[in-house]
Amino acid sequence: MKDKKIVFVVIGLLIVLGILGFAMWNNRTISTITLDINPSVEIKLGKNEKVKSVRALNDDAKDIITNDLKGTSLEDSLNKLTDKVIEKGYADEGRVVVLVYSQGSTSSQNVEEIVRKSFDERHIQLEFIAVENITKEDIKLAKKNNISPAKAAYINSIVEEKAKIEIKDLVEKPVEELLETKNTGRYCSEGYQLEGDFCLREVKRVKAPDGLVCPEGYYDYEGVCYEEVPSEELDELYCQDEFELEGTKCKRTITIEAEPKEFSCPKGEAKTRGELGLTNMDAGDANYVVCVDLSNATHPVTPCELPADDPTERTFVGGRCYWHRAPVIAEGCPGKIQVDGMCWDDASNVLICAGYRDGKQYSSREDYCEHSINYIDPVVTEYKCEDGFKLKGNKCEKEEDMDPMRDRTCPDNFTLVNNDRCINYKKTADKTNGFVCDEDNTRLRGNECIYYEIIDANHS
């Protein structure tokens, strides 16, 4: 009897465990998808690819998540999220960048097809980035900075490629800006946002004044509202001037003259022009090196020791040398001596060079007469380069690379203007009442004018 009770208990436990197991299996997560725009969300899919949960991964995402997403299909939930992204102004420029990571049975390609279709229907250009793998380092970075693991993985890939950029400068950036940094190497410090070649930092906001603006779907070009659609990038890559396309990179070699580092002199010794007092400091040639040959140089002497045929006027009185004769004036010869009815300068301590007429005087007999020194160009035995350059012979070389660019194209009947807008010259519209921001360094957002500080972007 006791054995039968045990059997019934075991059977009961097996039934309970089976029910629990079936319930857990039936409620399992088959896919986890994260989407980063600036709002970052996590979507978990259960059986039949129905949404189990949608979680906000940052504060911006709380504004786009609605209560009616649970239990819907992936396509329905993504379409509703897309609607909210547009409604909240994250695609105001007609372009949006989406970073996706999918783990489980649903592929990133499937997510892209749904999201792309949704944005295409609204004439919004989509840049899609799929993250394939998440590492432990990515997860650690994500937890530390409260971002998605996919965004952390993308940031780590940028930092590995662009060595000068620090992680702290990227964690707060939207995905669109991260893509720009990865493609161009330009980036902004924390607190600034990247826009082309510049970094912008918000200074203040004011209510925008009323004005006439183009209606939605139209672009103000040279004062006229033309129908507008997004431009598309061509597949063909190209590089800026002086760069050559090699694989997926634009590369160039910068070559400059190397600086002399060590010298040898065929005769004499090496001296800088600054050391010799020969330089014009404004000309920047103080460090120019010459070889100084003193083997035939002469020393300066007093005027009274000059050769007999030198025309310099001079005389001896009481063992002292005088020169520069001048007439006596009413006051006599102040500062001079009167000899034979003339005034003379005392030249006992004056040193000059024979035949040298530029007025230079010397202070000691150790000086050499400059015009008798032989200056010879030295032989450079070793060169040096600035940091970042490599020495090759007497040249310095540095390799530079950057990501290539793509031209943009427009659909039929549309013309590309400003290299990013497609407008239809045959379809115009009248301006309507709206908000305007015409002051320098401002941008219109909703009904506010945002003032920015604008500085040059950094480059990795």
What's the pLDDT at 389? 92
Give residue-wise pLDDT tens across range 252-277: 999 999 998 888 998 888 888 777 77
- Which of 123-132, 222-231, 306-315 is most confident? 222-231
Residues contacting residue 307 through CB under 8 Å, at least 6 positions apart: 354
What's the pLDDT at 14? 47
Amino acid residing at 297: A
Query: pLDDT band at 124, cuts 50/70/90?
Result: confident
What's the pLDDT at 21? 42
Sheet strands (E) in 215-336: 218-221, 224-230, 232-238, 244-246, 249-257, 259-264, 269-272, 289-293, 314-317, 320-327
Handedness of CA 385, 389, 391, 397 (dihedral sign): negative
Give residue-wise pLDDT tens across range 180-189: 888 888 899 8
Average pLDDT score over residue span 391-418? 90
d(CA 390, CA 395): 8
Domain ranges within the chain, ordered by starting residue: 31-130, 260-310+349-398
In this predicted structure, the answer to whether residue 104 has a pLDDT above a threshold of 50 is yes
d(CA 344, CA 329): 12
Buried b (16+ CB within 10 A) or exposed e, 250-285: bebeeeeebebeebebeebebbebeeeebbeeeeee
d(CA 203, CA 330): 78
**Are the beta carbons of 217 and 123 closer than 8 angstroms?**
yes
d(CA 329, CA 356): 30
Question: Which of 132, 119, 154 is CA-nearest to residue 232?
Answer: 119
pTM: predicted TM-score of the whole model, two decimal places: 0.55
Name which residue leads in pLDDT, 23 or 143. Answer: 143
Sheet strands (E) in 57-156: 95-104, 125-130
> Helix %, strand %, coil % for the chain, to 5?
25, 40, 35
d(CA 34, CA 14): 38
**Are the beta carbons of 302 and 351 closer than 8 angstroms?**
yes
Name the 3-class secondary structure at 307.
Answer: coil
Lowest-confidence pick of 166-170, 342-346, 400-404, 406-410: 400-404
Query: pLDDT band at 3, cuts 50/70/90?
Result: low
d(CA 90, CA 441): 21
Name which residue leads in pLDDT, 164 or 223. Answer: 223
**Are the beta carbons of 176 and 99 closer than 8 angstroms?**
no
Q: For residue 352, what is the enclosing H or E element?
A: none
What's the pLDDT at 294? 84
Phi/psi at 29 (5° precision): -90, 120
End-to-end Cα, the chain, rounded Å: 82
d(CA 76, CA 68): 10
Sheet strands (E) in 280-347: 289-293, 314-317, 320-327, 337-339, 342-346
In this predicted structure, the answer to whether residue 396 has a pLDDT above a threshold of 90 is yes
CA dihedral 294, 297, 302, 307 (to 10 degrees): 170
